[in-house]
Every structure is written in C-alpha cells, then in structure tokens.
Amino acid sequence: MELISRMMDGSIPYDTEGRLGPVSSGPGAKQEDRIERLKEVPLFEGCSRRQLRSVARIARVFDVPAESLLTRAGEAGDEFFLILDGTARVEVSPEKRVTLHPGAFFGEMSLLDGGPRSATVVADTPVRLLVIGRKHFADLLDQVPGLTLTLLTTLSRRVRQAEAQAERARAAAGL
C-alpha cells in the first residue's frame, strides 16, 4: 500500500518529529488558517469561501521527505495529490521522467477509472502535499469550479505524451 494511504488509515505511525504528520489539518488546526493556505493554490483560485471551506474539510496536508515513493506503477491507489511545495518526478517509462512542480497534481487516473497506478511517482525534494481520498474526490470535483475541465485537459496531454513515448520505444526497437 502507498505511503500516504498507510499514513491516512493509521497503519503506520506518523514520524514522531512530525515530519510525516498531517500539517495544518489536524483537529487543532484552525479552519481559517487552512482556508488561507488553500487560497494561495492556483487550482482553487475560482473558489468561493464556502467552497474553500468544503475543500479544507476533505483535504489533508502531508510533509514527506525526499525520495518517498508516492505512487507505485501497477498498484491500486486511493488518493489524489496536489503539490503545495517541492517537486516530484513521474517515472513514465525507464527513459522518460516528468518533473511536477508546485500547483501540479497527480493520482487522478486511478481515481477516475479505478485502474492501477499508471506510473511511479517519487518525491524529488521534501514535498508538501494536499491529499484527497477516493471517497471525497467527487466532492472535490463538485466544489472546485473548472476542475473537471482542468483534469480532462491534463489527462489529454498525459495520454499524448504516453503515446508519443510508446511510439519512440517501438521505433527504437525497430518495430
């Protein structure tokens, strides 16, 4: 099971120094602080305060160290991730890596079609992640204006890249 899933369901303890713990999303965190943080995320810029409040209720924020495995190709996945700080690399194929920067998201494919993770994603640096679990993903789509369209656009780009990559691999193999 993925690292974040295990932290979310409590089957591994959070780092005692808080490095792996949920950040600003525990019971003590002030709702207003969480909303202020979400306001800075470009994906949520069209959201009303009420919508941001709903997102703050369903999202959790995690800090993970560099080199953490965030998704593993071929495994089941139950979370959608948005990078708040740091960078992560998507290992699309042995030859192709894509770097994701703050504001980018990943993990949407398995939530949309229920299939296994299409790629391995690893933290390149310490990363702060906003994480939404499967059961709240539909709520997220309801609350964030334009998110469905953004997801579709990003998915189209990723499919094109995957096809181009497969074509290059076929050509290199002389097929």
By CB under 6 A, name the binding residues for ligand CMP: 71, 77, 90, 92, 98, 106-110, 117-119, 121, 158, 161-162
The least distance separating ligand CMP from the CB of residue 20, rounded to whole angstroms, comes to 20
Give me 154's structure tokens: 């990003």
Q: Report residue 60 CA to chain centroid gap.
A: 11
Q: Which is nearer to ligand CMP, 46 or 114 (CB)?
A: 114
- Nearer CB in complex with ligand CMP: 24/154: 154
CB of 135 to ligand CMP, least distance (A): 16
DSSP-H helix ranges across 1-96: 3-8, 31-39, 49-58
Specify the residue, 5 or 71, whose C-beta has the smaller distance to ligand CMP: 71
Least distance between ligand CMP and beta carbon 158 (Å): 4
Whether the CB-CB separation of 63 and 19 falls below 8 Å is answered with: yes
Three-state SS at 8: helix
Rounded distance, CA 127 to CA 125, Å? 6
